[in-house]
Structure 1
C-alpha cells in the first residue's frame, strides 16, 4: 500500500494495490499494518457510515469537539468525489488551509482524517458512495460545521458542477464566525489527544 501524508498534519492518503481480472477487481482500502506505521496508533472503530450522493452534492465541512472528536477513514467504493480536509485547529501552523484528494472506485484510495480536522466532499458522479470508518459514534451535541462555500476557506469546488447543499451546511458559520463563537478545536488539545492514542 502506498501512503502519503497530505499537507494537513494528521491526514494521510492510503492507496492500495488493486488486482483486476476478468471477474472485476479486488483491493483492500484499509490495511491495519500500513495505518499503524503511518498514524502510530490503531484505528478505533465505533461506527460505520454510508452515504450515496447525486452529482454536485457537497457534504461538510464537518468536525466534532475534541476530545474525543471523531476520526474518519473514508473511501469511495462507487463513483468519484473530491475529498477535502480543512485544518480547523486553532493554533495549527496550517490553520484555515485545506488539501484536496480525488477518491474513486478505480483507485479505491482512502483518506484518514484525524480528530479536529474538518472534512467535506463533493460528488462528481450520480450515485457516488462514500464509506466512513469512524472512531466515535454520532454525537449531535458535539458535532459542528463550517460553511463549505466560506470565502476564507477558498475550497476549489469544480466550477462545472452544480452545487447541492443541505440546509444545515448552507446555514453553517464561516471560519471567522466559528472562531469567534469558540466552536473550533484547539491544536494543542488535539496534539495531546493524538499522543494519548499513541501511548495506548
Structure 2
C-alpha cells in the first residue's frame, strides 16, 4: 500500500498493492491497522455508504458539522469519477483549497478525507458505483454543503456545464462564504 499526503494536510491518496495474473486480480482494499499506521492516528469506521450514478452527475460538496463531523475513505467500485475534497477548516493554511483526483475501478486509488473537509464527485464514465466508509454516523440536522459552482472554489468538475446533472437540494447549497462551518474535531 502506497500512502501519499496531498497538498491539503491530513488528506491522503491511498494506492493498494494489486496482484494480477491470468485469472484476474486481488488486492486488500482496507486494513485498519495498515491505514492507521500510515495516517499516524486511529480512525474507526462505523458506517459504509454506496451510490450509483450516471455520467454527468455531480454530487456537490457535502459535510457533517459539530460532533457529527466525518472522516471518509472513498473509492470507486465501477466506472470513473473525479473526486473532490475541500479543506473547510477555518484555521487551516489551506482553507478553501481543494484537490481533485480521478478514482476508478481500474486504478483502485482511494482518498482518505479527514474531518473538517467537504467532499463531492462528478461521474466521468457512463455509470459509476461509489463506495465510502465514514468514521461517524450520519445526522441530518448536522449536514452542510457548499454549492458546486462556487466561484471562490473554482472547481473544474470535468463535465460540460450543459451536461451536469445535480439534485435540486444541491442547487440550493450556499457559497463557501455563507456556509455553516462548525467543527468539533
Q: Fold match, TM over 0.5?
A: yes
2-side partners of 1:169 and 1:176: how far apart? 16
SS of structure 1 residue aligned to 2:170: helix
- Residue in 1 aligned with 2:97? 97
- State the 1:108 CA deviation: 0.8
Does the CA-based 8 Å contact 1:14-1:29 persist in structure 2? no
SS of structure 1 residue aligned to 2:34: helix
2-side partners of 1:126 and 1:43: how far apart? 33
Does the CA-based 8 Å contact 2:75-2:132 persist in structure 1? yes
- State the 1:21 CA deviation: 2.1
TM-aligned CA distance change 1:108 to 1:43, over 3 Å: same
TM-score of the pair, normalised by structure 2:
0.93
- State the 1:159 CA deviation: 4.5
- State the 1:160 CA deviation: 4.1
Answer yes or no: is 1:61 the counterpart of 2:61.
yes
2-side partners of 1:56 and 1:23: how far apart? 33
1-side partners of 2:41 and 2:2: how far apart? 18
1-side partners of 2:28 and 2:58: how far apart? 26
1:121-140 alignment to 2 at 5 Å?
A: 121-140=121-140
Which structure's residues are more often helix, by fraction? Answer: 1
1:23-42 alignment to 2 at 5 Å?
A: 23-42=23-42
Aligned length: 184
Pick one of 167, 181, 184 that aligns with 1:184.
Answer: 181
2-side partners of 1:159 and 1:51: how far apart? 19
1-side partners of 2:137 and 2:68: how far apart? 10
1-side partners of 2:49 and 2:116: how far apart? 18
1-side partners of 2:103 and 2:160: how far apart? 18
- State the 1:106 CA deviation: 1.0
2-side partners of 1:126 and 1:136: how far apart? 31
